[in-house]
Structures are given as C-alpha cells and as structure tokens.
Amino acid sequence: MARLSERLKSLIKIDDRTLVVLDEASMIDLPTLHAILRHMPEGPRLLLTGDAAQLPPIGFGLVYHALVSDAQITANLTVIHRQAPESGIPTVSAAIRERRMPLFAECQGVADGVSFVPCESGLLGDVVERIVLQLGGYSNGVLVVSSTKKSPGGVDALNTRLLEQFSPFRRPGARHQGIQRAVLHHRRSRNVAA
C-alpha cells in the first residue's frame, strides 16, 4: 500500500474540493474500501456508483450493498441508455432483477429480442456452432463469450471447434488461424463445469 500511496500522490492532488468517484462500486470489498479511505486526506467527497444487482465484491464485505439499502443516501437511475428497448435486453434484465422468469423469444437468427436456447452439455458445441451460423458468422460481428475455460462449453473446446469451422485462412492440420479468438473469456472467471 505504501507504493500505491506514493503513486497516487505523484499523480493527483486530492484536497477539500475533490470529488473521488468509485465506479462499479458493487465490486469493492471491505478491505479495499478501508485502504482507499485510509489513504484519502480529510476533506474530499467520495461518490460510489454502480449496480448492486450486478457483480459482487471481489472479496468479503457487502459494503456498497449495505449503503444502497439506505434510501436517504441513495439515488437510483431508472432509464436504460445502453440497450434499446426493442433489443429485449431491458425487459429481460428487469424480470431477472425482480426475480421473475423472463419471457424469451424463440431463437430465429438475426432478430430483435433475447433468446434462451436449452441444451445438454454434450451438445453445446453443436448448438453454439448452429447459432453462430444463423447469426451470419464472425464476419457479421458475432461474438461468443464463455464464463469458463475448461468445460464442454468453455473457451478451449469452443475455440478449437469454431476456429476450425469459421477461420477463412484455415490450412489442413493448422489450428487457430485467421480469427484471433472465436470465444472470449475473462481471466478472473473460474474453471467450473458448465
């Protein structure tokens, strides 16, 4: 923490006119918030922004969640700007947030709406490949994201399958050419079975 403190001091002067904004604050755990507050001088204001219904803290302590439960110190934004209503995402998100089962549209290729495609684990590669084809393939901007690395629906298995199928520069016996990464995976996700 000493290095962090010195680096912060060299980057910016925080005084009583400063507003420090911590975005994605639902991910801030108790030790992290304690370290931030311990290194802030007296006087500046602190604004936490985020969504308690999204990502949990990276460690222990639901600090943000406890704070936003107090209506006297919390403002809630209710208009969604990132997704158009016709995409179906705001409706599905609202249902999930309210702990209701959302109504999903049948998957029909490129169309408005959010689809849920049930699938057995052993058939996941077949189903993902079929949907990628229905959506026009990677040249049409399709992006596949997996929450795991090692599982039938994980990054490794899907990349092997999809790169062999969709790479325009594929040579017999060569792997992972043309498309850099067919399936993306965040490095902090855990290797759990899908």
d(CA 39, CA 9): 10
| Mean pLDDT of the region 5-30 | 85
Tell me the pLDDT band of 60, cut-offs 50, 70 and 90: very high
Between 30-39 and 2-11, two packed helices, what is the crossing angle to 10 degrees?
50
pLDDT in tens, 106-147: 888 888 888 888 888 888 888 988 888 888 877 777 878 887
Residue-level pLDDT at 182: 56
DSSP for 137-190 reads -GGGT--EE-S-SSSTTSHHHHHHHHHHHH-TT--TT--S-SSS-SEE--TTS-
Contacts of 19 (CB under 8 A, 6+ apart): 44, 45, 46, 47
Contacts of 54 (CB under 8 A, 6+ apart): 24, 26
